[in-house]
Structure 1
Amino acid sequence: MKQRVLLIFSLFLSFLLVSGCGANSDSNKSDTKTYPVKTIQVKEENYPVSLEYQGITGESEVRKLSFKSSAKIAKIYVTKGQHVTKGEPLVDLDKTDLNYAMQAAQSQMNAAAAQYNKAVNGAQQEDINKAEIAVKNAQDNYNYYKDLYDKNVTLYNSSAISKQALDGSKLQLDSSEAALNSAQQTLQQLRDGSRDEDKEALLAQLNAATADYNSKMDLVQDASMVSDLDGYVVDVLCKEGELQPAGNPVILMRSDDQVITVGLSDKDVKKIKVGTKATITIDNQSVDGEISNIVQMADQQSGTFSTEIKLLNPIDNDQFYIGESVKVYIETGDQRSILIPISCILNDGEDYVYVIENGRAVRKNITLGDAHEDKVSVEGLKAGDKLVIEGMKNIKAGYQVSEK
């Protein structure tokens, strides 16, 4: 009986030993298990960097067109919503009074030009001859009254005429002498020509008359309003026959330009300039554009800087709805960094990946940078690392792996 108990106890110990050995054997087998993974060797790459923003579709600024002068509306050539091309007529004013004013200004300019040219070129011989004849006549007239006065002095001294008669002859002599002096001065001026200060005064009068004429002519030309761009008539604010005051808008116009407006942060706005290229996604359609305007003052409410992007290849107007939200990608240049597939990144509160070193998985915490399509730039890896891109969910740090 005692031997039987000892035998059973020996068998039980053997069973425990065998069980223990089996467990250790399975554990060792688990530790040496190899997990298949797929890897790539990471490297630094150049890739374009862009700013990603939400934009709003808009249109070019509405312009208010007006006349410089007041007149009646003679003819309206366009209607609201009409597309016009550069140089196409829009509105005409009644030019009757404007033409009269221009003609009067032209006459004044011509007269001033004649006076100035006469002063510069000198008098013609015909004018000098006339002045010489006038001097001779004045001299003869003076000699006559001088002789008459001398005789009257003798008669007065002999009491043959009265003092009143003598004074009358003296008055005639003085008048004839003044006329002679004036004729002589006129002749001398014609012979010598105009003085420099006289020429300058006449030139100033000519310049003033010319400026007035040009102003009147400009008003006549301005009275025919034409489009200075290809675009659309937003509204017509006048009617034919109405008196249109100077400066009041008559036509509202906008160009064909299609623009996207985005609000850039103070950091990003410094990375771009007018002419910077951009890509806009509208209804799954990519359209090229470029920065056309940057407002230099931040919006008081949003704190962003309003920036306009002009579409380089405008889309059909029936597909371009004002106020629609679109994706905008603004190019800011190239950058060199390590790019890895987004799909291989894991997260347990921190972003990390697995790399292979000496046949085992090693965890690497990474910092994400700019995304580019299905890849993202990262910090925390170095060129040459073997990055696990498939099978990373089945492994942990320290696991032995084999590369497919």
Structure 2
Amino acid sequence: MNKKILSVCSLFISIIILGGCGSKGDSEKSNTKSYPVKTLEVKNENYPISLEYEGITGGSEVRKLSFKSSGKISKIYVSKGQQIKKGDYLVDLDKSDLNLDMEASKAQMDSASAQYSKAVNGAEEQDINKAEIAVKNAEDNYNYYRDLYDKNAKLYQSGAISKQELEGAKLQADSYESALNSARQTLQQLQNGARKEDKQGLLAQLNAAKASYDSKVNLVQDASLTSDVDGYVVDVLCREGEMQSAGNPAVLLRSENQVVTIGLSSDDVKKVKTGTKSQVKINNDKVEGEIINIVQMSDKTSGTYSAEIKLLNPIDNSTFYIGDTVKVYVSVGDKNSIWIPISSILNDGEDYVYIVENGHATRKNVTLGATNEGKVAVEGLKPNDNLIIEGMKNIKAGYGVTIK
């Protein structure tokens, strides 16, 4: 009986052992499966290094033109998108009030000049008579414009005119009041004679009056905006008949230069300088450019340093839109290293690749460096390594591979 039990146990153990051996054989068979991959033999290569940034078209090439004085727009000569030449007329202000101010300032300057001349040369009876006539004319002018201002004040209170029109009338009245005071002073000087200190004072008044007149002349000239460059009208921000405030942009212009602006990091700004070459990708085309300006102070908000890149081969202006976002590649030299396709790199918290060693996949951790058009310089590989560039997502370290 015991012999039968022993025999059955021996048979059971044999079955288990045989079953275990069969299972192990199946596992080894599954591990010997070969996965198809494509490889690349890596080597040291020289590639240009570039800094990749997003840029904005336009930059400082866009000019904002405005008037020095407020006034009503009388004439607009250009339209959005129009090509212009340096010196072309753009926009005119109504110059009526400005011309009156200039004439009043000229009268004051002439009066001051006469006062000074009489003080230096001495007064004659006919000079005194002329001065009296000048006082009478100045009084008539002042009374007229003072009365006009009083009427405008009543119109303003009733809402019939704007505050700017009232201020214009006040400015005219004040100008003619100043001219009247100057004329009276001239007459008094002629009647009383002039001392040395009086002559010095009159000379100072003449110089001040001349400076005031020159300023009014400049305002009249500035009331006509003209282009200071050959270029294009980006936009017209005013309309005929509307009031335009001093300092507010009336027209936006850009020169014929096509410029892209980027914001360099504090590290990258030290790698480039004026004249550094670059490539700008616009509408799927790459255009050669170079840095023409680097701002030496960082932006308070972004902390970046603004750099302007001029396109060396301008594109068609109909496709160069101001404010468009483009890709910019700034060249900073060459690098000799092992360069591999970026697409061959995997990551599970660390960057790694697979290479083929003795027919099996071997994992290699890599450190990434500079990039160049789909390739990256790496550390962690050595020349002649067989890098797996296709099929690496289907394998793990130790898997058997077949090279396509």
Deviation at 1:253, TM superposition (A): 5.4
Call closer, same or farther: CA 1:342–1:251 in 2, change over 3 Å: closer
8 Å CA contact retained: 1:369, 1:378: yes
- AA aligned opposite 1:354: Y
Provide the rounded CA distance (Å) in 2 between the counterparts of 1:62 and 1:9.
Answer: 100
Alignment of 1:121-200 (within 5 A): none
Verify: 1:62 aligned to 2:87, yes or no: no
SS in 1 for 2:13: helix
Q: Which runs of 5+ in 2 are unaligned?
A: 69-74, 93-217, 241-248
**Distance of 2:375 and 2:47 partners within structure 1:** 10
Q: TM-score if structure 1 supplies the norm length?
A: 0.54
* Structure 1 residues 121-148: Cα deviation after superposition (integer angstroms, max 9, x where no partner): xxxxxxxxxxxxxxxxxxxxxxxxxxxx
Render the CA deviation track for 1:267-298: whole Å, top value 9, x for unaligned. Answer: 21122222222222334343332222211222
Aligned to 1:327: 327
The aligned residue for residue 20 of structure 1 is 20
| Aligned-residue CA RMSD (Å) | 4.6
Show the counterpart of 1:309: 309
* Residue 373 (structure 2) aligns with: 373
- Classify the secondary structure of the residue corresponding to 2:368: strand
Task: Decide whether the 8 Å contact of 1:90 with 1:227 is kept in 2.
Answer: yes
Alignment partners' CA distance in 1, 2:47 and 2:323: 32
Over residues 29-78 of structure 1, what are the superposed CA-to-partner deviations in whole Å (9 max), with x where a residue is unaligned?
A: 445554443322111111121111121222514276999xxxxxxxx995
Amino acid at match of 1:337: S
- Aligned equivalents of 1:391, 1:24: Cα separation in 2: 28
1:193-241 per-residue CA deviation (whole Å, 9 max, x = no partner) reads: xxxxxxxxxxxxxxxxxxxxxxxxxx9xx9999866422467799x9xx
Go from structure 1 to structure 2 and tell me whether the alpha carbon gap of 1:335 and 1:78 turns closer, same or farther (over 3 Å shift): same
1:284 is aligned to: 284
Residues 278, 289 of structure 1: 8 Å contact kept: yes
Change (3 A) 1:342 1:6: same
In structure 2, C-alpha distance between the alignment counterparts of 1:267 and 1:46, rounded to whole Å: 23
Partner Cα separation in structure 1 for residue 37 and residue 315 of structure 2? 48
Tell me the matched-pair count: 272
Q: Which residue of 2 aligns with 1:40?
A: 40
Q: Structure 2 length normalisation: TM-score?
A: 0.54
Q: In the superposition, relative to structure 1, how do residues 253 and 45 fare at CA in structure 2: closer, same or farther (>3 Å)? A: same
CA contact (8 A) 2:62 2:252 kept: no
User: For each residue in 1:81-103, what CA deviation from the matched residue of structure 2 results, as whole angstroms up to 9, or x when unmatched?
Assistant: 553335768899xxxxxxxxxxx
1:362 corresponding residue in structure 2: 362
Letter in 1 for 2:354: Y
Check if 1:344 corresponds to 2:344.
yes
Cα distance in 2 between the residues matched to 1:91 and 1:10 = 112
Question: Structure 1's 326 and 90: CA in aligned 2 closer, same or farther, altered over 3 A?
Answer: closer
Given that residues 339 and 377 in structure 1 are in contact (C-alpha distance below 8 angstroms), is that contact kept between their aligned partners in structure 2?
yes
Q: Is the 8 A contact 1:65 1:252 kept in 2?
A: no
- State the secondary structure of the residue aligned to 2:58: strand
Mind listing any 5+ residue stretches in structure 1 that lack a counterpart?
Answer: 68-75, 93-218, 240-248
Q: Identical aligned pairs, as a percentage?
A: 58
User: For residues 321 and 251 of structure 1, what CA distance do their matches in structure 2 show?
Assistant: 17
Q: Work out whether residues 230 and 255 of structure 1, in 8 Å CA contact, stay in contact via their aligned partners in 2.
A: yes
How far is the alpha carbon of 1:367 from its aligned partner? 1.1
- Which residue identity is paired with 2:340? I
Q: Residue 62 of structure 1: SS of its match in structure 2?
A: strand
* In structure 1, C-alpha distance between the alignment counterparts of 2:343 and 2:253, rounded to whole Å: 51
Residues 49 and 332 in structure 2, CA contact (< 8 A), matched pair in contact too:
yes
Matched to 1:355, the amino acid is I
Deviation at 1:2, TM superposition (A): 7.0
Q: Which residue of 1 aligns with 2:263?
A: 263
Contact 1:65-1:253 at 8 Å conserved across structures:
no
Instruction: After TM superposition, give the deviation of residue 384 of structure 1 in Å.
Output: 1.4
Q: 1:7 to 1:261 in 2, by over 3 A?
A: same
Larger mean CA deviation between 306-315 and 394-403 belongs to: 394-403
Q: 1:23-102 maps to which residues of 2 (within 5 A)?
A: 23-30=23-30, 32-58=32-58, 60-62=61-63, 79=78, 81=80, 82-86=82-86
Distance 2:286 2:328 in 1: 10
Is the 1:64–1:251 Cα contact (8 Å) retained in structure 2? Answer: yes
Asked if 2 retains the 8 angstrom alpha-carbon contact of 1:369 and 1:377, the reply is: yes
1:236 and 1:361 map into 2 onto residues whose CA distance is: 66
Task: Name the counterpart of 2:274.
Answer: 274
Question: Is contact 2:47–2:335 with CA below 8 Å preserved after alignment?
Answer: yes
Kept in 2: contact 1:364–1:381 (CA 8 A)? yes
State the secondary structure of the residue aligned to 2:15. helix
Give the 3-state SS of the residue equivalent to 2:22 in structure 1: helix
| 1:341-366 Cα distance to aligned partner (Å, 9 max, x none) | 22222222111112223333322111
The AA in structure 2 aligned to 1:62 is R
Deviation readout 1:285-322 (Å, 9 max, x if unpaired): 43332222211222222221111122233334443332
Which structure: larger Rg? 1
Q: Distance in 2 between matches of 1:91 and 1:22?
A: 96
